[in-house]
């Protein structure tokens, strides 16, 4: 055994695990993330997997990646480029090495670099031998296959089965390098494979063997430490965006005094919300996997009509299918939350990639005038708070609400400070039960909401429907003036929601040369970029909008204090268009439509370009 290695302290590290779809990279990344979380780091993750379930072994399109950034400071993105790349095969190396920081650590499983593996990845020569990897990076070649087979020898596993544990071996190594205990992963393995002793034992051995191999000093000479971050005090958990959304919905429903009905049809990357909610049965949650998106939303509308909180979730193509029914929720003025976890398009597009291009569909994509509010969370943990807010608005204003998440937020994770119950204001729903003076379309003077009545309430029998309704009575009414009045009332109700917003906050000075305006998941990249630019002395600030429709009323004025407005979006300028039309502000679009989030460096460069 070699001498105890040095323990260097780092501010932060970005690791990317990359391997075959079957190599368990998502699991490995998640385990590493969890132990980093338990170690008190701030962190952010970015899983990136192919549309194929398990593409043929070794192919380029079958590569699955997971990036995690952990830090002793407050961070907002999973990092632009990794410091460490773990490449389990040539395909993973080929598709990922270009992102690795110069001089970064490159750990490759040399056991998978046979002629056939190389061919599948389209390498004519073995890059480990031929290319200057060693020169550009800290190259560490380890035959993980051999190592894992040795580690589990004696358990009676076939080689094929033994190789399944090689990801845990890699994980064990990284735990050693970054000075992490094995116990959280060991506990997890025990829970997961408790009744499959052989597999459990193999995995545990592989994990420990990795740790040992790293420790023995042949491959690694330095250990690193990333100190806990100074997060606001409290109890934390690591939370993926989709899980946060699911939790926020249930919490929102509880705060409204309602039970949740979730009607959904599976679709990437929104399905996890359904999976999460399906486990919450003991919270009174009902999940209904419908035959399609239309039945998902219409059953949810039915549930709301019956007095539950109807929610439906999907991604872009599904939202397109729900638009007709959204109009029904608008005209019947029933509460409803619709979640769209956006993905790459158009059409089926890039199902597993992220994008923000459903914004205008969300705001305008319905026949006729059918206004509704749209909320976009800005981080994985903000998915929780935005979901609560969406529920609050839906029940307070008796309106459908669209929650615009995206694949990057939904699949990414970060530490979530668990709020105490009191931190979440209750907004208990009062169902109408009083028959005296009841009018189905009478309005609350503050919110313009109509009363919500549970069918089954004696004496309040009434009919609602999708033909234009008479103001007050809600009866069918074709009168021209009534129609115009109702159109304006529905609009006034929705636009009135903006009256309740807090004043728009500016990060940085309230005036200057440039404001970078964002919405949704670009928050982190913009914040980091603006932060860096300000440290360089540039007069740039950030404004981030969570309530993307109706727009904050003071937004035009806030933006007007800056000479220029830049709007980075993962689409072709949709939010910029909204802001331009609403405030006649010359908001300029910075567009990226690559199925990938912005790097903060890209935003920073653009800021410098504009102000340089």
Ligand X SMILES: Cc1ncc(C[n+]2csc(CCOP(=O)(O)OP(=O)(O)O)c2C)c(N)n1
Using CB under 8 A, which residues numbered 312 to 341 contact a second copy?
A: 315-317, 319-321, 323-324, 327-328, 330-332
For residue 350, the minimal CB distance to a second copy (Å) is: 5
d(CA 286, CA 103): 52
Structure tokens at 193: 């494979």
Nearest to 198 by CA among 157, 243, 139: 157
Tell whether residue 349 is a contact of a second copy (CB under 8 A). yes
Of 171, 88, 569, 167, nearest in space to 355 by CA: 569
- Please tell me the distance from the alpha carbon of residue 456 to that of residue 360, in angstroms, as a whole number: 39
For residue 446, the minimal CB distance to another protein (Å) is: 27
Which residue in the set 491, 513, 605, 608 belongs to the binding site for a second copy (CB under 8 A)?
491
Question: Does the footprint of ligand X cover residue 317 (CB under 6 A)?
Answer: yes
Distance CA 103, CA 279 (A): 45
Of these partners, another protein, ligand SF4, a second copy, none, which one is at the site of residue 40 (CB under 5 to 8 Å by kind)?
A: another protein
- Which residue from 570, 576, 577, 573 is spatially nearest to 597, judged by alpha carbons? 570
Q: Considering only residues 454-473, where is the footprint of a second copy by CB under 8 A?
A: 465-468
Q: CB of 46: closest distance to another protein in angstroms? A: 19
Per CB under 8 A, 223 contacts another protein: no
Pick between residue 54 and residue 563 the one whose CB is nearest to ligand SF4. Answer: 54
- CA 333 and chain centroid, separation: 29
**Piece of 120-128, 346-354, 386-394, 529-537 that binds a second copy (CB under 8 A):** 346-354
Cβ–Cβ < 8 Å for 312, 263: yes
Nearest CA to 394 among 429, 360, 419? 429
What's the closest the beta carbon of residue 270 comes to a second copy, in angstroms? 12
> Which residue from 5, 10, 59, 564 is in contact with another protein, where contact means CB under 8 A?
59
* Residue 245 interaction partner, one of another protein, ligand SF4, ligand X, none, beta carbon < 5-8 Å per kind: none
| Footprint on residues 22-61 left by ligand SF4 (CB under 6 A) | 53-54
State phi, psi for 223 to the nearest 5 degrees: -115, 155
| Closer by beta carbon to ligand X, 310 or else 327 | 327
281: contact with ligand SF4 by CB under 6 A = no
333 vs 395: CA distance, rounded Å = 10
DSSP state of 378: S
Q: CA–CA separation, 359 vs 365, rounded Å?
A: 9
Among 265, 408, 441, 575, binds ligand X (CB under 6 A): 265
Closest to 145 in 3D by CA, of 157, 160, 134? 160
Q: Which does 294 bind (CB under 5 to 8 A by kind): another protein, ligand SF4, ligand X, none?
A: another protein
Residue 428 tokens read as 């208990």
Which of 345, 373, 412, 524 is close enough to bind a second copy by CB under 8 A? Answer: 345
Provide the binding-site residues for ligand SF4, judged by CB under 6 A: 53-54
Provide the binding-site residues for ligand X, judged by CB under 6 A: 265-267, 293, 317-318, 321, 348
């Amino acid at each position: 055994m070699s001498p105890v290695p040095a323990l260097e302290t780092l501010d932060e590290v970005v690791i990317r695990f990359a391997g075959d779809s079957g190599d368990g990279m998502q699991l490995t990344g998640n385990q590493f993330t969890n132990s980093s979380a338990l170690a008190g780091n701030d962190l952010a993750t970015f899983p990136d997997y192919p549309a194929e379930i398990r593409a043929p072994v070794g192919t380029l399109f079958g590569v699955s990646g997971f990036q995690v950034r952990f830090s002793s400071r407050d961070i907002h993105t999973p990092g632009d480029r990794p410091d460490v790349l773990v490449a389990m095969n040539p395909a993973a190396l080929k598709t990922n090495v270009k992102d690795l920081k110069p001089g970064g650590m490159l750990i490759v499983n040399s056991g998978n670099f046979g002629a056939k593996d190389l061919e599948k990845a389209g390498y004519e020569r073995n890059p480990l031998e031929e290319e200057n990897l060693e020169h550009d990076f800290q190259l560490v070649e380890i035959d993980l296959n051999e190592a894992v087979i040795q580690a589990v020898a004696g358990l009676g596993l076939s080689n094929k089965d033994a190789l399944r544990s090689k990801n845990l071996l890699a994980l064990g190594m990284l735990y050693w390098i970054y000075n992490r205990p094995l116990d959280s992963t060991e506990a997890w393995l025990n829970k997961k494979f408790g009744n499959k002793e052989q597999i459990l034992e193999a995995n545990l051995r592989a994990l420990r063997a990795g740790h040992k191999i790293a420790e023995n000093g042949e491959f690694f000479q330095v250990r690193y430490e990333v100190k806990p971050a100074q997060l606001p005090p409290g109890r934390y958990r690591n939370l993926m965006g989709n899980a946060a959304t699911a939790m926020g919905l249930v919490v929102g429903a509880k705060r409204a005094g309602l039970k949740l009905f979730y009607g959904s049809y599976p679709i990437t990357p929104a399905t996890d919300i359904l999976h999460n909610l399906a486990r919450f049965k003991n919270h009174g949650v009902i999940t209904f996997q419908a035959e399609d998106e239309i039945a998902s939303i219409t059953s949810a509308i039915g549930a709301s009509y019956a007095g539950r909180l109807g929610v439906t979730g999907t991604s872009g193509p599904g939202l397109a299918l729900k638009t007709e029914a959204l109009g029904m929720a608008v005209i019947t003025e029933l509460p409803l939350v619709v979640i769209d976890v956006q993905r790459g398009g158009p059409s089926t597009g890039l199902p597993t990639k992220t994008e923000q291009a459903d914004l205008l569909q969300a705001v305008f994509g319905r026949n006729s005038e059918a206004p509704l509010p749209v909320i976009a969370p800005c981080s994985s943990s903000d998915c929780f708070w935005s979901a609560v807010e969406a529920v609050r608005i839906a029940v307070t204003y008796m309106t459908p609400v669209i929650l615009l998440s995206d694949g990057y937020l939904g699949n990414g994770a970060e530490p979530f400070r668990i709020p105490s119950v009191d931190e979440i204001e209750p907004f208990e729903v009062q169902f109408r039960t009083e028959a005296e003076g009841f009018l189905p379309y009478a309005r609350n003077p503050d919110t313009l909401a109509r009363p919500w009545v549970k069918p089954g309430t004696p004496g309040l029998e009434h009919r609602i429907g999708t033909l234009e309704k008479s103001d007050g009575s809600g009866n069918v009414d074709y009168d021209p003036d009534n129609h115009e009045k109702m159109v304006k009332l529905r609009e006034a109700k929705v636009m009135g929601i903006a009256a309740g917003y807090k004043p728009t906050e500016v990060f940085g000075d309230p005036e200057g040369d440039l404001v970078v305006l964002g919405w949704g998941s670009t928050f982190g990249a913009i914040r980091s970029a603006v932060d860096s630019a300000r440290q360089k002395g540039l007069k740039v600030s950030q404004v981030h909008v969570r309530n993307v429709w109706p727009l904050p009323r003071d937004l035009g004025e806030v933006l007007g204090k800056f000479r220029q407005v830049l709007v980075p979006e993962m689409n072709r300028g949709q939010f910029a268009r909204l802001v331009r039309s609403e405030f006649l502000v010359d908001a300029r679009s910075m567009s990226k439509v690559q199925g990938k989030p912005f790097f903060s460096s890209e935003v920073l460069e653009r800021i410098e370009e504009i102000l340089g």
